[in-house]
Amino acid sequence: MKIHEYQAIELFRHAGIPVAGGQVAEDIDEAQDIVSTLGFPVVLKAQVLVGGRGKAGGVKLAKDKIELEKYFSEIKALRIKNYTVEKILIVKALDIEREFYVALTVDNVKDDVVLIASSAGGVDIEETAKKSPEKIHKIYMGGQKEVDPQQWPGFLRQVFPEPNLQAPAGAILQKLVQVFYKLDCSLAEINPLVMDKKGRWFAADAKINFDDNALFRQPEIQKLIDFNYEEPDELEAKQKGLSFVKMEGNVGCIVNGAGLAMATMDVIKLFGGEPANFLDVGGSSNPEKVLNALKIILKNKNVTSILINIFGGITRCDDIAKGILEARQQIKISVPLVIRLTGTNEKEAKELLSGANLRMFATMREAIQEAVALASKI
Amino acid sequence: MSILIDENTRLIVQGITGRDGSFHTQKMLEYGTKVVAGVTPGKGGQSVHGVPVFNSVKEAKKMTEANAAAIYVPAPFAKAAMLEDIDAGIELIVCITEGIPVLDMVGIKHRLKGTSIHLNGPNCPGLISPGKSKVGILPGHIHRPGSIGVVSRSGTLTYEVVYNLTMSGIGQSSCVGLGGDPIIGMRFIDILKLFEADRDTKGVVLVGEIGGEDEQQAAQFISSSMKKPVVGFIAGKTAPAGKRMGHAGAIISSGDTTAETKIKVLRAAGVEVVDSPDEIPARIQQKLK
């Protein structure tokens, strides 16, 4: 789960990490109120949950009232990677002396949390990591929830060569580590961490992503979710226990298990078709799930055939069959259905469906070939 | 022979009194797995399908000489269940539970360092040595004893692959579902080592998917240390790219985790990578000739 910069800044402020003063505005009146307390110059920052904001023109420096009005309406009118800008964060412009990069994340290859820091902060940090990897410093947590005191001074010396920077920067990094563990983050990033000309430190940007699996023990974080960023169909699917991603093609698919669902999409493509979606009905066996899955897929007007590919393990084929029959009674299925049911309770499923005049196939290959052929007929 | 489990495996089921734990205990017993104990704190003294229930793993191990554990407890309690096994010195832990917080798994992986304990999962279907023992939720009837080792990151896709093998008359020595989470116990490379050393495994089927770098590490091991033939399938060529934000992921990883890259490095390591799972039986048969 992702949150907006202004929300992450609030969490940082709460944790004692210094942040530049500022607030979000939804309209120009609010913006002017905020600026009346901050004073010019200010930085306007579009609040969107996608990367590439700066390059899309979503960050602007305003030196006076005229610029504020101009840039505010410009940013408000932007669509950044197809998302509208609802809120703009307005912060006091900093008099930057130095910019650093600091972040914590989980390294899935080393199975550990890693703290990354660099004296080359800013938008080009990924370039730096590629071209001058010696400027990126990492310290692994070794399964602990705090940095190893033995390694810590050496790490700080590498990132912050000037001795007078090490204490204030080190304190901020320690707090970032605490936030990461306390809130079950998957990413906590400050880029840039700024020291201004007066030697004051600020987290001038804030990104936090959370581990979805840990949200059950982070009720305060759950409240921060921005539903504008959930595809309505994908959100509906999630609420119904389905995992759904809409795609561009015309062969709708309902599969159990993510791996088999991906393999089904790949083989559809192999036989010259294009999948209309990824849909995993999950492991449990509830006829209702098939009905809901069909409803969601049928909303997509590009779909010209639907393939149901089930390998019953925990999922019972007869439950899927019941779901198909129920769906045929409740909704109008206007496109051809192609069905492949194998595994647990396959025999019972076939008996249930025997009089239903459905296209049934024994193997995944045959079913996919038929679904692809039917999809392109229309 | 087989890897990790066989007729000598004596299993504890943690969460045996729950819906899933109870259901799959029955299925494992029907298959012939020696389920010797169940554990649910506070329910010691009961029995489920004739299996005695204990309050703790330590007690269950002492009373039944169990050497493996399967975990079916809900995600919030899974870390504690794994720690109990580690403390009791259980040799093989199979964690079926899905949805475990990543930081819980970071802690578990750290605790496992320096031990000889094998962890399978979490969020996995478990493993089976056909005709001998199965631990987890895999459907037993689709397997048949033989000499092909199967290792996979997926659940139902593994069943699809195994079903194709069995239908073509090709049996399996052992089949292991590694689990779909970013941080898991054993990975491809751990299982490949075991298959390479197992006398009765003649060839290996590897089923991978997009994300992570496990397939790349497997490719390195295969080219440097494996003599047995490997046939592979990688799912996710058509999967939509993940939405990304922040730079830390790009800084720490070598970056490319697409199906195309994985297929390329596996092929370079001598793995026969097929385009559709049903091509696997013919290819592995060819390789064994």
- Quick one: three-class SS letters along chain A? CECCHHHHHHHHHHHCCCECCEEEECCHHHHHHHHHHHCCCEEEEECCCCCCCCCCCCEEEECCHHHHHHHHHHHHCCEECCEECCCEEEEECCCEEEEEEEEEEEECCCCEEEEEEECCCCCCHHHHHHHCHHHEEEEECCCCCCCCCCCHHHHHHHHCCCHHHHHHHHHHHHHHHHHHHHCCEEEEEEEEEEEECCCCEEECCCEEEECHHHHHHCHHHHCCCCHHHCCHHHHHHHHCCCEEEECCCCEEEEECCHHHHHHHHHHHHHCCCCECEEEECCCCCCHHHHHHHHHHHHCCCCCCEEEEEEEECCCCHHHHHHHHHHHHHHCCCCCCEEEEEEECCHHHHHHHHCCCCCEECCCHHHHHHHHHHHHHHC
CA B55, CA A375: separation in Å to the nearest integer? 56
Q: Is residue B247 annotated as a catalytic residue, yes or no?
A: yes
B66-103 tens-digit pLDDT: 999 999 999 999 999 999 999 999 999 999 999 999 99
Which domains, from first to last, does chain B contain? 10-288 (3.40.50.261)
So what's the pLDDT on residue A121? 83
Nearest one of B200, B80, B184 to B126, comparing CA atoms: B184
* List of chain B residues whose C-beta atoms are within 8 Å of the C-beta of residue A217: 76, 101
CA B279, CA A263: separation in Å to the nearest integer? 13
- Cβ–Cβ of A143/B106 closer than 8 Å? yes
CB atoms closer than 10 angstroms to residue A175: 16
Residues 6 or more apart in contact with residue A248 via CB below 8 angstroms: A274, A276, A302
Task: List chain B pLDDT tens, one digit each, 289 residues.
Answer: 799 999 999 999 999 999 889 999 999 999 999 999 999 999 999 999 999 999 999 999 999 999 999 999 999 999 999 999 999 999 999 999 999 999 999 999 999 999 999 999 999 999 999 999 999 999 999 999 999 999 999 889 999 999 999 999 999 999 999 998 889 999 999 999 999 999 999 999 999 998 888 999 999 999 999 999 999 999 999 987 665 556 777 667 656 788 999 999 999 999 999 999 999 999 999 999 8
- Cβ–Cβ of B101/A217 closer than 8 Å? yes
Strands B68-71 and B145-152: unpaired
Nearest to B107 among A143, A209, A269 (CB): A143
So what's the pLDDT on residue B255? 63
Beta-ladder partners of B102: none
B136 close to B128: Cβ distance less than 8 angstroms: yes
Region A21-93: CATH code: 3.30.1490.20
Tell me the Cα Rg of chain B: 19
Considering only alpha carbons, which residue of chain B is nearest residue A340? B160
CA distance A198 to chain B (A): 28
CA A320, CA A251: separation in Å to the nearest integer? 19
Domain boundaries, given as residue ranges, for chain A? 1-19+95-229, 21-93, 231-377
Residues 6 or more apart in contact with residue A62 via CB below 8 angstroms: A40, A41, A42, A43, A44, A68, A70, A71, A72
- The Cβ-side half-sphere exposure at A125, using a 13 Å CA radius, reads 27
A10 close to A221: Cβ distance less than 8 angstroms: no
Nearest to A216 among B76, B237, B238 (CB): B76
Task: List chain A pLDDT tens, one digit each, 378 residues.
Answer: 899 999 999 999 999 999 987 899 999 999 999 999 999 999 999 999 988 888 899 999 999 999 999 999 999 999 988 889 999 999 999 999 999 999 999 998 899 999 999 998 887 888 888 898 999 999 999 999 999 999 999 999 999 999 999 999 999 999 999 999 999 999 999 999 999 999 999 999 999 999 999 999 999 999 998 888 777 788 888 888 888 988 999 999 999 988 999 999 999 999 999 999 999 998 666 888 999 999 999 999 999 999 999 998 778 899 999 999 999 999 999 999 999 999 888 899 999 999 888 999 999 999 999 999 999 876
So what's the pLDDT on residue B254? 59
SS3 content of chain B, % helix, strand, coil (to 5): 40, 20, 40
So what's the pLDDT on residue B246? 64
So what's the pLDDT on residue B247? 76
So what's the pLDDT on residue A149? 93
Size of interface A-B (CB pairs under 8 A): 188
Domain covering A231-377, topology: Rossmann fold (3.40.50)
Domain A1-19+95-229 has CATH 3.30.470.20: yes
